[in-house]
Amino acid sequence: MKIFLLGYMGSGKSTVGKLLAERLKHRFVDLDQYIEDQEDEKISSLFQKKGEIYFRKKERAALDELLEMEEALVISLGGGTPCYGDNLQVIQNSAENTTVYLKYSIPILLERLWKEKEHRPVISHLEDREKLEEFIRKHLFERGFYYNQSNLILSCDEQSPEQICAAIQEKLR
């Protein structure tokens, strides 16, 4: 079984993924980290030096590798991964795979991302909270179509990572 965690940046996919993998005794893979390890370069640098098309091709190749693995995995996807090409369909082609959307409200995402925006190249240039909120709203509108096709959709605003993991485990039974 492979469990894919989807959601917007700042939704805690990696935090929840690590905890869930530990609880389920699966291996955890952060897709972005997996790509960085293969390329020996940060995602932000890949985008800057080689462009988004190069990155998306590498992302798809990495996704294909993970899908071919026989072992049980919890995989944290990049925020845009399910929205490009046929990535989401490929993931959902197997009944062995489960997609989980970690859904947060815009105010919660705004708070989280405002605190860490300097570490996120995609939003570091946004100089005030209003511009960041507008950016989040636009992206969520575009990506919601994909995120909402997940097998499980969890509203996570008032929940800790432990509670989110427990909810996922309960739904998987």
Structural domain including 27 reads: 2-172
Domain count, the chain: 1
Nearest by Cα to 63 from 89, 100, 101, 95: 89
Q: Which of 5, 76, 4 is nearest to 35 (CA)?
A: 76
Identify the band that residue 30 occupies on the pLDDT scale cut at 50, 70 and 90.
very high
Mean per-residue pLDDT of the chain: 93
Q: 169: how many CB neighbours lie within 10 A of its CB?
A: 12
The residues with which 73 forms a beta bridge, in sequence order, are 2, 27
Instruction: Supply the pLDDT for residue 118.
Output: 81
According to the annotation, is 32 in a ligand binding site?
yes
Q: Does the annotation place 11 within a ligand binding site?
A: yes
pLDDT number for residue 13: 96
Q: Provide the pLDDT for residue 116.
A: 87
Annotated binding-site residue? 81:
no
Residue 45 maps to which CATH number? 3.40.50.300
Consult the annotation and say whether 27 binds a ligand: no
Instruction: Tell me how far CA of residue 49 lies from CA of 4, 62, 153, in angstroms.
Output: 28, 19, 35
Whether 92 has a binding-site annotation, put simply, is no
Residue range 69-77: average pLDDT?
96
Residue 125 confidence (pLDDT): 86
Two tokens at 81?
């991964």
5: pLDDT confidence band, cut at 50, 70 and 90?
very high
Q: What is the 8-class DSSP label of residue 82?
A: G
* pLDDT tens-place string over residues 100-141: 999 999 999 999 999 988 878 788 889 899 999 999 999 999
Helix or strand holding residue 110 (H, E):
helix 106-116
Residue 102 CA to its chain's centroid (Å): 9
DSSP string, 160-172: -HHHHHHHHHHHH
Cα of 14 vs its chain's centroid, Å: 8
- In the chain, % of residues over pLDDT 90: 82
12 marked ligand binding residue: yes
**Helices (DSSP H) in 3-86: which residue ranges?**
13-24, 31-39, 43-68
Confidence at residue 20, expressed as pLDDT on a 0 to 100 scale? 97
For residues 52 and 73, which has the higher predicted lDDT (pLDDT)? 73
52 vs 24, higher pLDDT:
24
Question: Is 44 in contact with 108 (CB distance < 8 Å)?
Answer: no
38 annotated binding-site participant: no
Q: Sort strands 73-76 and 27-30 into parallel, antiparallel or unpaired.
A: parallel
What is this structure's pTM?
0.94
153, pLDDT greater than 80: yes
The pLDDT of residue 50 is: 87
